Amino acid sequence: MSFGNFYLESIISLHLLVWVMSTTETEPTNDPDGWEAVRELPPSAKLVAKTLEHDGRLTQSQLADETLLPTRTVRYALSRLEECGAVESRFSFNDARKRVYTLAIE
């Protein structure tokens, strides 16, 4: 896959996610630690959160592969999601150098 195709697919994925998040009706909640907190984050963080919601537990490199985002962007998105309490991480049993991320909100 060329860089141009990769970039185009990443942009399309982000635009699709922004469109889905903006057109999806959700019940208003007073829970700032749930999806409401994620709503204020960048589109890349929303994409990572939705990917974790769909796929369950993933490493940073697996998230980069699934979302077609650069690893640096995934790392930033994960840090923002951890700050707002939407994502939890633990060390991987298979490789202690890696962390496994899971969605902490419903």
Please give the C-alpha separations between residue 40 and each of 23, 37, 90, 97, in angstroms, as whole numbers.
Answer: 15, 6, 25, 31
Check: CB of residue 81 under 8 Å from CB of residue 87.
Answer: yes
Per-residue confidence (pLDDT) for residue 99, from 0 to 100: 94
List domains and CATH numbers for the chain: 3-103 (1.10.10.10)
Dump pLDDT digits (tens) for 27-55: 444 455 578 889 999 999 999 999 999 99
Q: What is the mean pLDDT of the chain?
A: 82
- For residue 33, the one-letter residue type is D
Q: pLDDT-based confidence at 18, cuts 50/70/90?
A: low
What are 59's strand-pairing partners? 100
- For residue 46, the one-letter residue type is K
Check: CB of residue 77 under 8 Å from CB of residue 45.
Answer: yes
